[in-house]
Structure formats: structure tokens, C-alpha cells
Structure 1
Amino acid sequence: MKRIYDWDAKFSLRNYTAADLREFKGIRKLVQTTANSEEEASAAADAGLDLIMGNAINAVAVRRGAPNLFYTVAIPMPDHPTEKDVLDQAFLAMKNGADSVYTARGPHIVELLAREQIPVMCHLGLVPRRSTWNGGLRAIGKTADEALELWRAFRRMEDAGAFSVEAEVICDRVMADISKRTTLITSSLGSGSGGDIIYLFQNDVCGEQPDRPRHARAFGDLYALQQQIRSARRSALKAFKKAAQTGAYPDQYETADISDLEYEKFAEHLDRE
């Protein structure tokens, strides 16, 4: 564990620092998932994952669940439209224990954050909220021209001061070649094994919904368990209603009683009143 002071001037321990991640580039493969609750963060830590990432609104709970994992906080694009909004949220996130800040915004926002020495994760490749410019949700880098333009976008983010990048659904060979040439720490989400980090959303990893993107493999089946819980909940409620209506609930073991003598005294007083 590395000893650090966080942005709230609190002594903390981290599995990795930003400097470590830079040293690992091209040498050691790391694994990242999302965490947006104390339980999700704790599960990621218990499973030995290296890095977690989640929405800024959940930062306090996530840091409580995984006090030592390198944690990237995402600043939602539509909720923070101005530069002041972004900077305020970034400082709050770092105060709440974040180790880096993610933004899907352009180089001007990356530069804004980097000037404050905040480790910034940008987003390149398929950025779902901007998918209209790509003709919909699809892989990026399928032509030489598009792959070259993507490489230039990496360079622009480097120049703006980005520290890392969420590289989403980029053609695998293009991703591998770019990752070797960029200084950015590349977190591959559906972009093959050529990135520095292999990243997958926790809800996809755990199989929490029946449908998932092509790149996402389920390593569990929480959806089936959730359906069982859903069914069991309704069965229990129906059984409760039936028991309450028929008098089967509550029985003598589920109620408190008064002694006969005390009850007789109570009844006498009640009758007199």
C-alpha cells in the first residue's frame, strides 16, 4: 500500500498512485470495474480488482466501501454544463476521496482540470452520448481515415494534459497500436486486450440484466437471482395476506400476553369507566 494525503488533507492508503499507473504502462495489465454503491465497491475490493470508477454523486459511499482502491470519479456531462460546474464538482470529488476525475468533454475541459493537477481520464472511441456523430452505436476505427483521426484525438488529449483515457469500442488492432504510442493510460472497454487496463461495467460482469453489449461478457447471473427474489417477494406477500385474512397470522407465539390476574383487574377497571 502507498501512503498518501488526499485532497482533504487526510492520510490514506492506496493500492496504486497515479505515478504507479504510469510506471505500469505497457508492462503490467490492470483490471477495472464500476462501483456506485458501498456494496459494489466492497465487492470489487474483496475480489482483488485494481481500479474502480463511478458517478461522483456516489463518491462518499464508494470510498467507504473500498477505502484503498484507486478510484476515478465520473462527472456526468449533462449535469455540469459550465466550466465552473465541472471544476466545482471535480474539487468536491477529490475532497471526497477520488484519485482521478473522468470527463467525456473535450480538450478544453481536460486542460481546465489538468491545470489544477487533477489526474484526468478522458473518453475516446465510441462516446455513447455523442453517437449521433458516428451514425449510431458502432465500433470506431474501422477505416484507415477514421483510425488516423482517432489517433490525432489521442494526441490532442495528451496535449491538453489528460492522464488516462476510457477507450470504448475501438477496433482491437487499432487500439493496440495506439496504446503503444500514446502516453495516456488506456482503459479498454470493448476495445480488445491491447489496452493498459481491461475495463468492464460491474452490472455486465455480474450479469444483472438479460441484454448486454456485444463486448460485455457476463461472469455471473445476478439477473436470475434477482428474478427469483422478485418472485419470492410476491409469493411471501400473497401468503401474508392470506394468513392475515384467515386468522392464521398472528398466532399465540407471535403475540404478547397478559396474565389472567392482571387482565381481570384491567377488565374490571375498564368496565367501571
Structure 2
Amino acid sequence: MVHKSNRPTVHDIRAMKARGQKITMLYVTTPEEAAAADAAGIDMLSIEGRFFSPEMREAAGRCFVQVGLPYGGWGRFNGAHLATAEDYLRAAYHFMAMGGDSFYCAASLEIQKVLCDNHIPVVGHVGLIPSTITWTGWRAVGKTAAEARAVWDHVKRLEAIGCFGAELEVVPDRLGEFISRNTSLIMLGMGAGPGADAQYLFAEDVLGCTSGHRPRHAKVYRDFAAEYARLQQERINAFREFAADVQSGGYPEPRHNVPMPEAEFEAFLASLER
């Protein structure tokens, strides 16, 4: 297990931005993905609270972990939706004790400020925000001067309340670069162009786990979907062969059975006659 003192801190991530060092970030959901990211030298991981556990933290090794706090109908903490600042504070402290390094929070500025005031590294969200998608629709945000200004103003409000960073999702590359260069926040770019402080993708997209529509910014590096399809067909084949074996008497074989000495079985039958 990697000791906490050997993991990157907020100070270290800020130093990476100051040096102009590109930061790599992945959204992962399993200990296997977290361990692979650590072994590959990925800098930051995003892990939803529902997936985060001591096992995940250990698997993440030296990666800096952003834990996603549940929001509205998107998740629960201790069986309930988070609604108040106190709810969010309790959840953040819970995941902090588990080893979380920063905390994604899509709640109001007032709630985010309470977390910041309690020295919790908070990551907000600007641009295309999935949890409030009804206001924009699924599209790039910031292509007009008015929308770009709204995104910039949002960033400045997060900066003013003391946030550590913000996910910068699906905005024009020119806007992403301008914002990243002109804020102290760590801008975690997802479809925000090469000028963002971090390049952030979902592991499932990197691995090609899904079929159908993929976001413009997604890049597939492996074809796990084909491998999963192959494995599923192998499951079907194995189950079919098992069923055929049962019907034909091919399973179980003598080696699968528990033997009983003949004398003991005869004694058992004799006991029934008595």
C-alpha cells in the first residue's frame, strides 16, 4: 500500500500547472482500472463515491483521487440523497478518511463554499454540466460570446469561494486555453482542447468498452467491446457444452464423484432393513 505521504497533494497538482506540465486524468469504476492507471503513471483519477472504497484507494496507488460526491438523483450517501451543506460536509469527511484527495461537487455555490471553508479541496464543473443538462441540452457550451462569458464568470465564482479546480467539459478549444491560462483553478478538460491543464477521459472510452455513440473528444486505444463479445460467446458455448454433457451423461464423470467404500454402503443398506 502506498503511504499517504508518498501520494501527490493539492500543492503538487498546482505545481504541475505552474510548470505547464500536462496532467493526465481518467474516470474509473473498478479496482482493476485504478491499479492499471497507477501502473501506467496516470496522474489523477475520478471515482464516484458509490465506487470508492478502501480497496479502490489502495488500488489507485500513487494516483491523486478526486471522489465524486453524490448529487440530487444521481446517487445516495448512507441511503439518502444529499441536500444540505451539512450532508455534503459529512460525505466529504467520510471519503476523506478513506483516502480521497479532492472532491467533485456539483451542488450550489453556497454548498461548495461551505466545503471550501472547511479546507476541503473542491472541484466544481463548468461548461457542459451533465447534472444540469436540462438548461443547455447535450451540446458544446461557450461557442457564442455570451455563453463564453457565462462559462468564464462561473469559473471566477468558483475561484472566489476557494475551489481547487473545475471540470471543464465540451467547450471550444480557444476558450478552454484562455480559461486555463487565466485562473488559479486546475482546469480538468474533457473535450476542452489541448490548452486545458488536464486531459480527462473515461476509462470505458479509452478501452473501447461501449458501442454506439461516442463523444467527439473520446479516443479509443483498445477494443474491449470485441473482447467482451468474444468472452460472452465463449460463456454461451461453455454453458451449452455443460448442458449437453448433463443430458448425455458426460457429466459428472467418476472423478467428480465422492467415493464410498462398498462395505460401508452395504452396512447402510442393512441398517435400513433392521
Q: Distance in 1 between matches of 2:260 and 2:225?
A: 48
Q: Distance in 2 between matches of 1:223 and 1:82?
A: 40
CA offsets per residue over residues 92-112 of structure 1, 9 Å max, x none? 111111011111123212211
Match for 1:29 among 2, 5, 22? 22
Aligned to 1:163: 164
Task: Provide the secondary structure at the position in 2 that maps to 1:173.
Answer: helix
2:65–2:101 Cα contact (<8 Å) kept: yes
Match status 1:206 vs 2:200? no
Q: Distance in 2 between matches of 1:257 and 1:62?
A: 44
RMSD (CA atoms):
1.7
Shift of 1:84: 1.7
Match for 1:56 among 49, 65, 68? 49
2:142–2:175 Cα contact (<8 Å) kept: yes
Q: Distance in 2 between matches of 1:149 and 1:214?
A: 23
Match status 1:85 vs 2:79? no
Task: Provide the secondary structure at the position in 1 that maps to 2:5.
Answer: strand
1:54–1:72 Cα contact (<8 Å) kept: yes
Aligned to 2:241: 239
2:163–2:185 Cα contact (<8 Å) kept: yes
CA offsets per residue over residues 233-253 of structure 1, 9 Å max, x none? 122112111111221111122
TM-score by length of 2: 0.90
Q: Distance in 1 between matches of 2:201 and 2:108?
A: 23
TM-score by length of 1: 0.90
Task: Provide the secondary structure at the position in 2 that maps to 1:182.
Answer: coil
Q: Distance in 2 between matches of 1:62 and 1:35?
A: 10
Tell me which moved more, 166-175 or 56-65.
Answer: 56-65
Shift of 1:23: 1.3
Q: Distance in 1 between matches of 2:8 and 2:203?
A: 20
CA offsets per residue over residues 72-124 of structure 1, 9 Å max, x none? 10012113122221111111111111011111123212211100101111100
| Identity fraction in percent | 35
Task: Provide the secondary structure at the position in 1 that maps to 2:4.
Answer: strand
Shift of 1:261: 4.5
CA offsets per residue over residues 217-262 of structure 1, 9 Å max, x none? 1111111111112221122112111111221111122223234444
